Amino acid sequence: MSIAYGGIVAFVFRGANLLVALALVFLCSHQLSEEDYGTFVLGLTAIGIVNAATGGLTAATGFQISSHKKTAGAALANGGVLGIGLGAAAIIAGLLISQLFTGEAHREALAVGFACAAVIVGSVVAGTFLGREAFIRYNLALVAPPLFSLSLVAVAFFLFDAKSPDVALEMYAVGQWLAIGLLLITAGPVYLRGLALERRVVREIAKFALVAGIASGISYLNYRADVVLVDFFEGRDAVGTYALAVYIAESVWQVSGSLALATYARLGGSTRDEAVALTTRVMRHTVVLLSALCIVLFAAAGLIERALFPDYEGMATALRFVLPGVLMYSLAQSYSGYYTWQRGMPWVSAAVAGGALCADIALALVLIPAMGISGAALASTLAKSMAMIVALGIFVKAEGISFSQVYRFGSADVDDYRSLLGRVRSRLGSSA
């Protein structure tokens, strides 16, 4: 399967996920006040940190199937033990935090705790699908939870006129759990066959998930730490405006993520040289496709603000500042995939993300007081760009290749697009 075609297939599903996410952003940013929307964003940020950190469970569970040849049932059972335990811990943490607050903050903490538990359990289920290269099921595991959450938030807002950040977060949590339950019910007997607990496998998953989770968690903080600093320096209203700029910019990562996703299982079963060649091809496709998208978003930033978010002044400027960093850091997904799925070294991407996070915080502390949310966006771009340049330098040196080998298009890259066009023409011809 060509990378271009596999990436397009994955992008269809991830594109749907993006539309759902943007719909949730649009709905809540328009139905909640700017301050309440900022509170909702902070709640989602907390959920996102947990989601990213437990994304290591997805990789660890899938790794057991693709590389260690475990059955889906064995991987699901042993990963599920960890998922259920961590999910219970998230709920308990939510309960404890809720005791410190009253009113809406009390309900928000509970909702965040239950939502975190859902995404933890869901990460194990998704990892089982990914390890078996069941891309449709895997992508449904990505799309269904936010779709259910969006639907329930809309019902609460419009049918019951319950428009507050705590209600939105509660409906978000309920939607996540409903989707996970449906995915498990419809998974079929093949995913339940061979259910068996093995201490050794649980330990292997836990160890891999811990390292990969730290990497993912640091990466997510790298994306969101500046939101907290914006809240500190500029206030809750500015959080909502800045978050909109970041969400729109990062939407292009659906493309780079789709390209990387199409190679994950193949990376685990390839030789090191084959994996390097595959990774560099993904990087080249990423640069070409995302450059075009980022140019379009840069040019349309003002129109997007005026047409869709007129109450969030300054969003367009922040969007333009953050886009170059988003483009540069899009290579991190294929980079991380190589070190996680091929080398079994997720700590490498954690080190890169950690460096970017430290640089981002240091720059944001200077630039936000001077430039507001545009300073946060500029700090993000500078930090991500510097980190990715260093990461690529490490990669080419370790693998004994040159930068030109990473970015030079060859016949295999052109064949990817020829293959894609051929498949498209064939499908159009058969449907005519």
Tokens of 393: 């330098």
39 domain residue, yes or no: yes
| Cβ 42 vs Cβ 35: under 8 Å | no
pLDDT tens, residue order, the chain (432 aa): 445 555 555 667 767 777 888 899 899 999 999 889 988 988 998 898 888 778 778 878 887 887 777 888 888 888 888 899 999 999 999 999 888 876 667 788 889 999 999 999 999 988 888 777 777 788 788 889 999 999 999 999 999 999 999 999 999 999 999 998 888 887 767 676 777 788 888 888 888 788 777 767 776 776 677 888 998 899 888 988 998 899 899 888 877 776 776 666 677 667 888 888 888 888 888 888 889 989 999 999 999 999 989 989 999 999 999 999 999 999 988 888 888 777 778 778 778 888 998 999 999 999 999 999 999 999 999 999 999 999 999 899 988 888 877 777 666 666 655 554 554 455 445 544
pLDDT at 432: 46
CA distance 266 to 283: 16
Residue 432 placed within a domain? no
327, 297 Cβ separation under 8 angstroms: no
Q: What's the CA gap between 120 and 312, in Å, rounded?
A: 33
Q: Which residues contact 269 (CB under 8 A, 6 or more apart)?
A: 66, 67
Which is nearest to 217 in space by CA: 364, 336, 71? 336
Give the Cα separation of 116 and 45 in Å (integer): 11
Domain containing 329 equals 3-419
Maximum distance among all alpha carbons in the chain? 64
Virtual torsion, Cα 40, 41, 42, 46, nearest 10 deg: 100
CA-CA-CA-CA torsion sign (381, 382, 385, 391): negative
pLDDT recorded at residue 359? 93
Place of tokens 């970015």: 407
CB contact at 8 A, 5 and 426: no
Q: Which pLDDT score, from 0 to 100, does residue 117 have?
A: 94
Query: Which distant-in-sequence residues (6+ apart) come within 8 Å of 56 by Cβ?
Result: 208, 209, 210, 211, 212, 213, 214, 215, 216, 346
* Number of structural domains the chain divides into: 1
Domain assignment present for residue 192? The answer is yes
In a domain, 427, yes or no: no
